[in-house]
Amino acid sequence: MPSNKLSIKSIFKFIGPGVITGASDVDPSGIATYSQAGAQLGFGMLWMVLLMFPLIYTMQEMSGRIGLVTGSGLGKIIKEKYSIKVLFPLTGILLISNTINIGADIGAMADSLRLLVPQIPMTMAILGFAIFILILQIFIPYNKFVKFLKYIALSLFAYVITSLIVGGNIQNILFSTFVPHLELTKNYAVMFAAIFGTTISPYLFFWQASEEVEEEVKTGKIKELGKGSPKQIGKKEIKTMKIDTAIGMGFAQIIVWSIMITCAGSLHSHGVTNIQTTEQAAKALEPLVNSFPNAGVISKFIFALGIVGTGLLATPVLATSCGYALSDAFGWKQGLYKKFREAKSFYLVISVSTIIGIFINFVGINPIQALIYSSIINGIVSLPMIIFIIKIANDKSILKDKTNNKKSNVIGCITGAINVISVIVMFFTIGQ
């Protein structure tokens, strides 16, 4: 028994920024996109899970390596290498996109909670989640906050469970996973672009780089984020970061795969193809899933619970990445390991972005339309960020002997090319 406890403790100790990043990538707004893909196209886009893994892993590994080796966030490196004029527009657009996502995610969490407990007023649910998230970020010490995020990441297994309950023809699922399926239709093109834009998000680049540095501060390798490079970074640390990132991105793609299977096996197979929000997907499961007695109710409950869990994980990541980006731009003290009085500007950015996000739910803005525009903004910011990350990751004056290999550069360039195609598709379809 003691050895089991030690094993679990060791696993959680090993889990780092990569796993948290991967889990936060499947946020409520992302779940809405993946649910829609399964509902509209059945198993037709399962193959994208295998396509996306090397792309997102490569970009996040580069971001993590930059933070690990330099002891600084991405924003600070971009500012020092290319000037503040380059960083400012990237940071500004990132803030707009993240704030929209924060609002949409909190709204989705509140809707999902009300599916489970209808008696809770919507306003109370929204404010309750926002206050809880801010308390976690501002007042909970970094070690405990990160541990909370790790445990919350486990909530994403809810989607694996729902996919098992819903089921489906295993041969069809495996065939669709390993054999690409293409359709020359507007609907398919839009969904491809939406999945790419949701998965490759610029806020994850900022988050992962800075979180690697936060971990270095926690272990005493450096004293402060952005204040000097650690001296003990060798092959072992780089390897650990790569494994952590691979596990995190792999975990995220398994969840995406499970969500698509759940919605394809229940919604699509019953002709329900117009799913716009996460709570609609959860609610629609109840009358359609009949694997065993009460399977539909259980599926709805687990799916909705997963939305709440991933929202509690993703919203702090979105808000904190805003804090990292602006702090890098203005040279403010930053870091979740610091108390509020030690990094007031950093925490104020986190608070303001969350508060503005709350208001999105009360001013009559269509959340789905807002998320569409947010996806376009993410796509626009992602391209220059991908370019800068690749250039920095190849710069020997910054990373010394820890620069990219040829494989990373090739995959990075492919990611950038697909990003361009996705943005073009979104621009051409947005007004139609």
Which domains are present in the chain? 16-261+274-429 (1.20.1740.10)
The pLDDT score that the predictor gives to residue 2 is 46
The pLDDT score that the predictor gives to residue 140 is 86
**Joined tokens for residue 20:** 């948290």
List, for residues 294-305, the tens digit of each pLDDT value.
677 777 788 888
Query: Distance (Å, rounded) from C-alpha 98 to C-alpha 216?
Result: 26
Query: Distance (Å, rounded) from C-alpha 85 to C-alpha 105?
Result: 31
Nearest partner of 389 among 237, 195, 204, judged by Cα = 204
Nearest partner of 105 among 300, 299, 307, 274, judged by Cα = 307
Nearest partner of 388 among 43, 1, 94, judged by Cα = 94
Query: Distance (Å, rounded) from C-alpha 243 to C-alpha 237?
Result: 10
The pLDDT score that the predictor gives to residue 6 is 45
Q: What is the pTM of this model?
A: 0.88
The pLDDT score that the predictor gives to residue 22 is 83
List, for residues 92-128, the tens digit of each pLDDT value.
888 888 888 888 888 888 888 888 888 889 899 999 9
**Joined tokens for residue 8:** 């679990």
Nearest partner of 72 among 87, 94, 92, 89, judged by Cα = 87
What Cα–Cα distance (Å) separates residue 178 from each residue in 38, 45, 46? 16, 10, 8
Query: Distance (Å, rounded) from C-alpha 405 to C-alpha 56?
Result: 16
The pLDDT score that the predictor gives to residue 354 is 92
The pLDDT score that the predictor gives to residue 289 is 65
The pLDDT score that the predictor gives to residue 93 is 86
Residues 310, 155 contacting (CB under 8 angstroms): yes
List, for residues 1-29, the tens digit of each pLDDT value.
444 454 555 555 656 677 888 888 888 87
The pLDDT score that the predictor gives to residue 3 is 47
Residues 264, 38 contacting (CB under 8 angstroms): yes
Residues 4, 233 contacting (CB under 8 angstroms): no
Contacts of 372 (CB under 8 A, 6+ apart): 426, 430
Query: Distance (Å, rounded) from C-alpha 408 to C-alpha 280?
Result: 39
List, for residues 383-424, the tens digit of each pLDDT value.
889 999 999 999 999 888 889 999 999 999 999 999 888 878
Residues 102, 94 contacting (CB under 8 angstroms): no
Query: Distance (Å, rounded) from C-alpha 158 to C-alpha 167?
Result: 14
Query: Distance (Å, rounded) from C-alpha 317 to C-alpha 350?
Result: 10
Residue 5 CB neighbour total at 10 angstroms: 9
The pLDDT score that the predictor gives to residue 1 is 42
Task: Quote the percentage of the chain above a pLDDT of 70.
Answer: 89
Residues of the chain with confidence (pLDDT) below 70: 1-16, 276, 278, 286-294, 365-373, 375, 429-432
Residue 117 CB neighbour total at 10 angstroms: 8
Contacts of 41 (CB under 8 A, 6+ apart): 183, 187, 188, 191, 264, 268
**Helix intervals (H) in 219-343:** 235-266, 278-285, 295-330
Query: How many DSSP H helices and E strands does the chain contain?
Result: 19, 0
